[in-house]
């Protein structure tokens, strides 16, 4: 049996190595993701058009407008647009010409002078969550310029989020994407090695030829699992190294950190590969495989907290995130890479990955026994 499994293993490996373009793509694509996503998400937000409707010219109102102008000149977060009335400003907001606007009410200064509360209206276009959050943060920060404890904003949008405090060494957005692209590389690798190759072999009748020899379905499944694991781990290790090199990140925790890293790569690869084999075990046409692969990518990658904190998800998506192996893989990688080598932080994630991998391997073997 070992001889037979090794023959399948070696054949798959040879075949993959002789299609270097495919492998190259499997490595390059996550890195391109890293570079493009890292840069597109990382830069400061600038020159958001902010409408200003001032019905009051009193000293406090002028202080406030002055602070906005300072914001426009300094960090350049906003670009001020004079508006004469609130209706016009609202119309512009709706058409997307303004990212938001402020309304200084007629009696703002005098109310404050008389010791009454006074609110500046803040309207924000919340279609783009990131831009609106940046705008709210910037505008809110100008309030202390109005030297009155009674001045406040009346926000016309949902509750703002409280950003968690940074208690670990600061991680640039670039670097924080590295675990995500490594997991993406594992996904792509296992999709090619465990999914597409399998479906293609079945489609072309290669498996049928195999099965007219003493080769068993289990032999084929083990051979594919083995070769897929080797190739995928190699390509994801390359992506990890390149990612760390590009972003200047490093592995914490010394040799143990490295061991933990390899373990997580292995568990993720094994789990995703087995999942692919189970999922595509039934597909009998390459198109079905591609469709299923794309689908799995979306439902696994985005809910994994790879790009945006899981804490921001609605409840149902959090449930998806919890069962998503990529969530745990990313969490484990983040723990090892960024939390100063604190391996205990990765323990539950690793445990989940082990359970997931075993379950998928069992599923893959039973599925393939029937369908290969």
Partner 1 sequence: MSAAIEAQKVTRRFGDFVAVDAVDLTVEEGELFGLLGPNGAGKTTLIRMLTGLSRITSGEAFVAGVDVRRDPVALRRAIGVVPQALTSDLDLTGWENLDIYARFFEVPRQRRRARIEELLRRVELWERRGDLVSTYSGGMRRRLEIARGLIHRPRLLFLDEPTIGLDPQSRRTIWDLLRELHGGDSLTISLTTHYMDEAEALCDRVAIIDHGRVVAVGSPAQLKASVPGSDTLDVTLDGPASEELAAAMGALPGVRRIDREDARLVVRADDGARILPRLVEAITREGRTVTAAAMSRVSLEDVFIQITGRSIRDGRAAASEARRSSLPRRFT
Q: Is 214 one of the binding residues for partner 1 (CB under 8 A)?
A: yes
Backbone angles phi, psi at 76, to 5 degrees: 60, 25
Count of residues of this chain found to bind partner 1 when the rule CB under 8 A is applied: 26
Interaction of residue 4 with partner 1, rule CB under 8 A: yes
| Terminal CA-CA length for the chain | 18
Can you tell me which of 39, 42, 57, 213 binds partner 1, judged by CB under 8 A?
213
DSSP summary character for residue 95: T
Candidates 32, 204, 291, 322; binder of partner 1 (CB under 8 A) is: 204
- Provide the minimum distance between the beta carbon of 6 and partner 1 in the complex, in angstroms, as a whole number: 7
Q: Does 235 bind partner 1 (CB under 8 A)?
A: no
Q: Which long-range contacts (CB under 8 A, 24 or more apart) does 240-245 make?
A: 240/178, 240/182, 240/185, 240/265, 242/27, 242/31, 243/30, 243/31, 243/34, 243/177, 243/178, 243/181, 243/182, 244/178
For 268-293, letters b (16+ CB in 10 Å) and e give bbbbbbbbbbbbbbebeebeebbebb
Q: Which residue, 7 or 131, has its beta carbon nearer to partner 1? A: 7
Helix, strand, or coil here: 80? strand
Q: How near is the Cβ of 14 to partner 1 at its closest, in Å? A: 6
Within residues 181-200, the interface with partner 1 by CB under 8 A covers 200
**230 makes contact with partner 1 (CB under 8 A):** no
* Residue 239: CA count within 13 A, CB half-sphere: 33
Cβ distance to partner 1 smaller for residue 154 or 208? 208
Work out which of 40, 165, 212, 344 binds partner 1, going by CB under 8 A.
212
Query: Rule CB under 8 A: is residue 234 a binding residue for partner 1?
Result: no
Per CB under 8 A, 147 contacts partner 1: no
- Closer to partner 1 by Cβ: residue 214 or 254: 214
Shortest gap between Cβ of 2 and partner 1 (angstroms)?
Answer: 10
Question: Using CB under 8 A, which of 215, 260, 264, 336 touches partner 1?
Answer: 215
Cβ closest to partner 1, residue 3 vs residue 165: 3
> Which window, 9-17, 317-325, 349-357, 362-370, contacts partner 1 (CB under 8 A)?
9-17
The CA distance from 185 to 297, in Å, is 11
Asked whether the CA dihedral 343, 344, 347, 348 is positive or negative, the reply is negative
Q: Does 126 bind partner 1 (CB under 8 A)?
A: no
Ramachandran sector of residue 205 (left: φ over 0; alpha: ψ -120 to 50; beta: rest): left
Q: How far apart are CA 165 and CA 144, in angstroms?
A: 22
Q: 78, 138 in Cβ contact below 8 A? A: yes
- The three-state secondary structure class of 219 is helix
Q: What x/- string results for residues 282 through 321 when contact with partner 1 is judged by CB under 8 A?
A: ----x-----------------------------------
Q: Which stretch binds partner 1 (CB under 8 A): 83-91, 153-161, 208-216, 357-365?
A: 208-216
Distance between CA atoms of 13 and 25, rounded to whole angstroms? 17
> Counting contacts by CB under 8 A, is residue 6 touching partner 1?
yes
Pick 18 or 95: Cβ nearer partner 1: 18
267, 273, 274, 280: CA torsion to nearest 10: 160
Is there binding between residue 202 and partner 1 (CB under 8 A)?
Answer: no
Binding site for partner 1 (CB under 8 A): 3-4, 6-8, 10-11, 14-15, 18-19, 21-22, 200, 204-206, 208-215, 286
């Amino acid at each position: 049996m070992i001889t037979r499994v090794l023959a399948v293993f070696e054949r798959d490996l040879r075949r993959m190595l002789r299609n270097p373009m495919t492998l190259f793509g499997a490595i390059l694509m996550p890195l391109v993701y890293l570079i493009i996503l890292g840069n597109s998400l990382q830069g400061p937000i600038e020159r958001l058009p902010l409408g200003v409707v001032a019905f009051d010219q009193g000293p406090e109102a002028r202080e406030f407008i002055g602070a906005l102008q300072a914001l426009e000149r300094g960090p350049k977060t906003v670009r001020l647009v004079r508006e004469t009335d609130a209706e016009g400003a609202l119309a512009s907001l709706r058409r997307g010409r303004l990212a938001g606007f402020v309304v200084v009410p007629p009696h703002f200064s005098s109310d404050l002078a008389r010791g009454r509360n006074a609110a500046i209206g803040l309207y924000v276009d919340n279609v783009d969550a990131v831009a609106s959050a940046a705008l709210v943060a910037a505008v809110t920060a100008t309030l202390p310029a109005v030297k009155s404890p009674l001045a406040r904003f009346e926000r016309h949008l949902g509750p703002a989020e409280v950003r968690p405090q940074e208690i670990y060494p600061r991680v640039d957005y670039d670097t924080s994407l590295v675990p995500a692209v490594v997991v993406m590389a594992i996904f792509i690798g296992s999709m090619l090695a465990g999914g597409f190759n399998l479906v293609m072999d079945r489609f072309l009748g290669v498996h049928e030829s195999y099965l007219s020899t003493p080769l068993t379905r289990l032999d084929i499944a083990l051979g594919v699992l083995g070769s897929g694991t080797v190739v995928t781990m190699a390509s994801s290790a390359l992506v990890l190294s390149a990612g760390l090199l590009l972003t200047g990140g490093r592995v914490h925790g010394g040799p143990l950190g490295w061991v933990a890293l390899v373990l997580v790569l292995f568990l993720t690869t094994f789990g995703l590969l087995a999942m692919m084999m189970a999922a595509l075990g039934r597909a009998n046409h390459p198109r079905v495989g591609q469709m299923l692969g794309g689908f799995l990518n979306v439902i696994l990658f985005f809910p994994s907290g790879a790009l945006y904190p899981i804490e921001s998800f609605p409840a149902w998506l959090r449930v998806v995130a919890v069962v998503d192996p990529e969530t745990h893989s990313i969490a484990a990688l983040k723990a090892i890479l960024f939390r100063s080598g604190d391996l205990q932080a990765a323990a539950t994630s690793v445990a989940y990955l082990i359970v997931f991998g075993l379950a998928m391997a069992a599923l893959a073997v039973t599925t393939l026994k029937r369908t290969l």
